[in-house]
Structure 1
Amino acid sequence: MTQDVNFWGVLIPGLVVLAAMALVGTIATIRLLFATRLSRIFTYRPLIELALFITIYGLLTLYLPLNGFLP
């Protein structure tokens, strides 16, 4: 499990930090989909955005603590 991150004296849970990183990754992926016009093949955009966020968040929680990125 990820530990807390000290941010100028404020302890932030590691999973919240990973969620913020997943949000940034989701926004970047959605912009890439719109730039390449691949977003037109999906019918319900909010469902795709939620699925992307959950997928990226799951991958971050699975692999980043193993690499030593978060203690």
Structure 2
Amino acid sequence: MIQDVNFWGVLVPGLVVLAAVALVGTIATIRLLFATGLSRIFAYRPLVELTLFITIYGLLTLYLPSNGLLP
């Protein structure tokens, strides 16, 4: 299980921190899609944004060590 992260005395669950990182990654990916013009090929934009978030979040939880955010 991913451990809690201590931010100045406030314990935040590790999965919430990963969700915030995934959200930032999703926003960056969406901006990249708009900058390159690739966003025009998708019919339903909110579904693409949701799947991007789920994919990035899943990859973060899969590849980060389970004992905390830092090895």
Report the Cα distance in structure 1 between the residues aligned to 2:68 and 2:37, rounded to whole angstroms: 33
Runs of 4+ in 1 over 3 A off after TM superposition: none
Which ranges in structure 1 are unaligned for 5 or more consecutive residues?
none
Higher relative contact order (CA 8 A, sep 6+): 2
Aligned residue-pair number: 70
Query: Percent identity of the aligned residues?
Result: 84
Which ranges in structure 2 are unaligned for 5 or more consecutive residues?
none
Q: TM-score normalised to the size of structure 1?
A: 0.93
Higher percent of residues as helix: 1
Q: TM-score normalised to the size of structure 2?
A: 0.93
Q: Please, what is the CA RMSD of the aligned residues?
A: 1.5
